[in-house]
Structure 1
Amino acid sequence: MNIEEFRDYCLSKPQVEETLPFGEDTLVYKVAGKMFAMCSLNNYAEGVNLKCDPERAAELRDQYPAIQPGYHMNKKHWNTILAEAFLPMGLLPELIDHSYELVVKGLPKKAREELGL
């Protein structure tokens, strides 16, 4: 998945906004103001950050060298995935979905209802 595909996939999720809160180089994807994905425009190959269930995060890190503890993130809840490294087909979109769903699940019921989620 290249950066354009990553960007398009994140933006295809309901109620997602693309922001640049950390400067012109860092794309951040949020749902209801909560971040679920982040990547560098200039260094996409260095990885994307995605939220992950802590137990699954540890399993993924053990299974794939291209998945590491979240760079500059809470290492328990975030993974950095070397987006251009070899990963099984469909794994990166699945991990984006997982990250998005974790954030949506953590929203208050009222917020989910207002957003239609």
Structure 2
Amino acid sequence: MPAENAPVAGNLDDDDYPAYTMGRAAAVLGTTPAFLRSVGEAGLIAPLRSQGGHRRYTRRQLRIAARARELVDQGTPVEAACRIISLENQLADALRLNRDISRRLGGCGTDT
């Protein structure tokens, strides 16, 4: 019988499963744990915590942190990079909502 908190094979394909430790996440991104802490402190990502209190990251969070790293590598301060990404996400959500509403209304309105 599997342990109660043992990972299930299906979780490995789940973008929201906290599979990455801080060290592994930093290695995957080619950055430092301090960078991950800084994007967390800026509110861009909120890693889950293991029972021992260690940060655990999801694939979705790693993609977001990778985008932040791109901006920082281009000279953008971490806080500004986090704000840019938040605004990019809000715009994507608004465009998706607009598209869905337009479809429900029969295509009248905007052409996105």
- TM over 0.5: same fold? no
Q: TM-score, normalised by structure 2?
A: 0.31
Would you tell me which structure has more strand in proportion to its own residues?
Answer: 1
Please tell me whether Structure 1 or Structure 2 has the larger radius of gyration of its CA atoms: 2
